[in-house]
Structure 1
Amino acid sequence: MHVIVTGGSSGIGLAIAKLYATRGDRVSLLARHPGRLEQARAEIISLSGIDSARVQIASVDVASADQTTAAIEICEASFGPCDILIASAGIVEPRAFDAMSASIFEEQISINFLGTANAVRSVYRGMKARRSGRIMMISSGAALVGIFGYTAYCASKSALVGFAEALSAEAEAFGVRISICFPPDTLTPQYRREISMRPAEAKILMGSVKPWSAEAVAARIVRGLEQGKAKIHFGFSLAALAYFGPLIKPPLMWFISRKTRKIIGQEATESLADVTDRGFDHGK
């Protein structure tokens, strides 16, 4: 079996790739940075029983449709048609919308949403012709509820929900199974960078939940694929949001709004006090 993983150089993508590699499957890792890809491949082939000839890498920016198609064509030429696609490539840059440049907003949309669509497009026609194949889109718990400072990220991950549902309607008759999952905060290199930038307002909703390990998230995704699940959730809170969002979100958003206004009010008071202090210092 040939498994292609975008965003395979670290985090959830790499953890999933390791699981399939240990089963003897052929694994292709796609990501932007050649050095990280080399390191990821070295990690995989260092595992017990792994045949290094069954793990390959390709450096590609999934935001580019042409690059993605070319890279996946090369991977399929070496390892055969793609049986499973794991679309895991993604980025997050948390900050308030009016403090976010257009380029940072667009990059998150381009990689998280369009990058997934580009990878899917590159394998879908072949899967449809063979009437066989599985596609897993890695969304996020952030697709289930709006989060302060995550306008671009929430938008990009929410868009995957509609994409997955619509594509599933087209693909089902041809034997191609489309799935989507909604991981929680996960201990990855990206998470460690993100958490240092996370606004205080976002921590009201996100800060009290213990992050999952990448290995635990990967194991649930692979198991869900084997069970033919269309949607995979993680933990009680995110599952409740997914199934009972219309009931849960109004009081939840009211609570968060109150807390957010309080934080913003405190920040405004502290800012005014700082300006006043500096004014007095200047007068001295």
Structure 2
Amino acid sequence: MGVWLGVALVAFVLIIVFLLIKQLFWNAQLKNVKNKHVVITGGSSGIGKHVAIIAAKHGANVTIIARDIQRLEATKNEILHACENKDVQRVEYLSLDIGANYENVEKAVADLERTMGPIYMLVNCAGTAICGKIEDTTLDSLNKMININFLGAYYCIKAVAQRMKASREGMIVLTSSQAAMLGIFGYSAYCSTKFALRGLAESIAMELQPYNVSVTLCLPPDTDTPGFAAEELSKPLETRLISQAAKLVTPDVVADKLFKDALAGKFFSTVGFEGFILTTVCSGMSPFSSICELLLQASLMGFLRIVSAFYLISFQKIILNCMKMRNENKKSE
């Protein structure tokens, strides 16, 4: 009996290893964006900028959307230099506050499609993070994150969804965060908007799948972008220490993975082991892209829940140590 149990255990481990290798390293067939119109919000910097450059290298016509015209112009030149065929491809930019007013977004998208062609791929990268405990977060900061992080994506997707359904092709990417999978100290407002993007992604994936329109939810860890540098200025000590549990990644790495996962039709796009843990533990009723992914989630969810508990315990220790340190500092004053 013991021998058979050992054989079964070895077989189970080998199957898991095989599924992991297949899931993480097997290259699925990718869709082609050559001569297609790719639109990236938040495309003037950070992850969005690198997605735009990658799309240009793949032969796409690219439109970037952001608010800062000078930064948009500079980024447009970088994208032009990256084009696979500079004589054929087109690169444009649009200065627009996507979270301010739906009618403006709808009109801008319609104008873009008239001049640049139907939008085949929409990548929502616009976002901002303002840290602070719930009692320290101003309503202005809360509304800013709701408008940019959630409403901006919602408005843009609403503006393109009907035409993608009519043409029965398209891809939509929502750039959320690992903070869409767990609440984090100092991120009460930010996590709320990123959790909302997950709900939006799962809902529209169900709505659009019958029309051959895929949805990808990108969940990057802390990424070395101008937005992250600004975010660091408002981080409480606890948030900064918790963030150090995962290493800082470069935006080109996130953008490359995002782009490939979207072309492969994957729902989740993650970078690093922490991202794999989070999407596996929190997969729940989320869409799955393959039987291999489903089997991995079903097999590892229980074990990785235990692993995630150790992370949570370490985070609680950080919070308690910071509180203890503050109390001691107050006593010594």
- Relative to the length of structure 2, the TM-score reads 0.78
One of 11, 30, 39 as aligned partner of 1:4: 39
Q: Does 1:199 align with 2:258?
A: no
1:273: which partner in 2?
Answer: 332
Deviation at 1:197, TM superposition (A): 2.6
Q: How does 1:221-240 map to 2 (within 5 A)?
A: 221-240=258-277
Mapping of 1:208-247 within 5 angstroms? 208-245=245-282, 246-247=305-306
**Contact residue 44 and residue 50 of structure 1 kept, 8 A:** no
Paired residue for 1:57, among 76, 89, 93? 93
Query: Secondary structure of the equivalent of 2:157?
Result: helix
Corresponding letter in the other structure for 1:11? G
SS in 1 for 2:119: coil
Instruction: Tell me the residue number matched to 2:185.
Output: 148
Distance 1:132 1:49 in 2: 23
Matches of 2:94 and 2:83 in 1, distance apart?
23
RMSD (CA atoms): 1.7
Q: Which runs of 5+ in 2 are unaligned?
A: 1-35, 283-304
User: Structure 1 pair 21/98, CA: closer, same or farther in 2 (3 Å)?
Assistant: same
Amino-acid identity (%): 30
Deviations 1:58-112 (A, max 9, x none): 1111112122212212211111110000011100011111111111011111211
Equivalences, count: 274
1:160-193 Cα deviation digits (max 9, x unpaired): 1111111111111111111111011111111122
Q: Is 1:139 the equivalent of 2:198?
A: no
Distance in 2 between residues matched to 1:247 and 1:234, nearest whole Å = 21
What's the CA shift for 1:210?
2.0
Match of 1:260 among 301, 305, 319: 319
Q: Could you say if the C-alpha distance between residues 30 and 182 of structure 1 is closer, same or farther in structure 2, counting changes exceeding 3 Å?
A: same
SS at match of 1:198: coil
Quote the offset at 1:48 in angstroms. 6.3
Deviation, 1:240, is 0.7
- Is the 8 Å Cα contact of residues 53 and 79 (structure 2) preserved in structure 1? yes
**Residue type at the aligned position of 2:170:** G
Query: 2:236 is aligned with what amino acid?
Result: P
Equivalent position of 2:124 in the other structure: 87
Please report how far the alpha carbon of residue 265 of structure 1 lies from its aligned counterpart in structure 2 after TM superposition.
2.3
SS at match of 1:84: strand
Residue type of the partner of 1:157? K
Q: What is the rounded CA distance, in whole Å, between the counterparts of 1:175 and 1:209 in structure 2?
A: 35
After TM superposition, the structure 1 stretch with the greater mean CA deviation from structure 2, 4-13 or 31-40, is 31-40
Q: 1:134 to 1:29 in 2, by over 3 A?
A: same
Q: Give the alignment of 1:11-22 within 5 angstroms.
A: 11-22=46-57
Which residue of 1 is the match for residue 290 of structure 2? none
**Runs of 5+ consecutive residues of structure 1 not aligned to the other structure:** 275-284
> Cα 1:50–1:43, aligned 2, differ >3 Å: closer, same or farther?
farther
* CA pair 61-48 structure 1, distance change in 2 beyond 3 A: closer
Choose which of 78, 87, 90 in structure 1 pairs with 2:115: 78
Task: Say if 1:2 and 1:81, in contact at 8 Å, map to a contact too.
Answer: yes
> Residue in 1 aligned with 2:7?
none
State whether residues 223 and 250 of structure 2, in contact with CA within 8 Å, keep that contact through their aligned partners in structure 1: yes
Given that residues 56 and 84 in structure 2 are in contact (C-alpha distance below 8 angstroms), is that contact kept between their aligned partners in structure 1? no
* Partners of 1:148 and 1:10 in 2: CA distance: 27
